[in-house]
Structure 1
């Protein structure tokens, strides 16, 4: 018979007795045996959920700050969830300059190209190298500014797709418009602290889930 908590009414008051039932005691005993396994499962889920949370909120924050499409930021984030017994998840964030053409939808006009609130005077949107069109400017143009074309270097046409390329046998060197992501670096510690707070919150939820699962008789991790 499973008794558990009960109450008694008397002439001058009532008595409430709180105690676990026989079924609950048995469940707790079984849970105690499975604590290491249940705790490991809870930690894995908590870390992986926190990684997804961090990836979502980081990409949104960077997109707002740098005026970049969220999809482009997410391509710079790579999650490494928990696998096996190593209780450690990682989120890699690539902060090399991002091609301006990926920050939004480029619009060509007679005076240049605009995209995501930025304007590149004297530039043109065209497929010069590779399969996709980018925003380029001739380095001899009076509108060329190194600040709008970071991480640029002169390379041969057969070289890498980033930086400068030489068009028509180096007579008209071009530079590709990019957006620097260096300004997001100071926020790393802030995101780590927020993620740590979030992890603690999710850990509590996952441990409670494991406990309630056993109390309800579903004693499997």
Structure 2
């Protein structure tokens, strides 16, 4: 019966022989039979952890570059973890323009609205449509420039007013301030290229975890 690893000492050398003990040898053989189930669990966790890793790092990178609150960027990154037998996870990210009001904490001033280092002259921060306040400007304002409001919604529809006279009438169409995320695209691309490397690293950890868990279980028998 194997007693496991052992060493032999000589005058000028030593030899360490690595081999499994009888109990570990049985464990390895049994683990091989269970490998499909254990490997699937390890792969599932590795994919899901890598998705979370990507979501966190992309949000930080884009937030820093575009001066947008990380929490707002994370809402544009939606992870779909592995479920069932299909070993496939997905990470969705939206690159359409984000409302400027979500970039940070808007501050209304006499000359306009400032948020996250950006200034929107002639704009106002107010609830117009929906239940949340946004940064708006009248398109008739001398401060309005389409270039400063990328992908903004131009609206003149009628609806429930929040009390600002004529704010949603045809005479005073409004534009909502938004921030383009097109410049953030390289950040997504660069982190996605690192996904395979990270997945392999985590997969090794998870496979080792499954092995160690099984070996500990056999030691108690």
TM-score (norm 2): 0.89
| 1:3–1:21 CA contact under 8 A, matched in 2 | yes
| 1:27–1:217 CA contact under 8 A, matched in 2 | no
Aligned pairs (5 A) from 1:55-204: 55-151=55-151, 152-158=153-159, 167-204=167-204
| 2:126–2:135 CA contact under 8 A, matched in 1 | yes
Q: Unpaired runs of 5+ in structure 2?
A: 161-165
Q: Distance in 1 between matches of 2:168 and 2:9?
A: 98
Question: Aligned pair in 2 of structure 1 residues 214, 168: CA closer, same or farther (>3 Å)?
Answer: closer
Q: Distance in 2 between matches of 1:107 and 1:157?
A: 27
| 1:2–1:23 CA contact under 8 A, matched in 2 | no
1:70-119 per-residue CA deviation (whole Å, 9 max, x = no partner) reads 11111111110000111110111111111111110111111111000000
Matched, 1:29 2:51: no
| 2:58–2:188 CA contact under 8 A, matched in 1 | no
Q: Distance in 1 between matches of 2:106 and 2:206?
A: 45
Q: Distance in 1 between matches of 2:11 and 2:136?
A: 91
Task: Give the stretch that moved more between structures: 59-68 or 179-188.
Answer: 179-188
CA RMSD of aligned residues (A): 2.0
Q: Distance in 2 between matches of 1:182 and 1:12?
A: 67
Q: What is the deviation of 1:38?
A: 1.1
TM-score (norm 1): 0.89
Q: Secondary structure at the match of 1:217?
A: helix
Count, aligned residues: 213
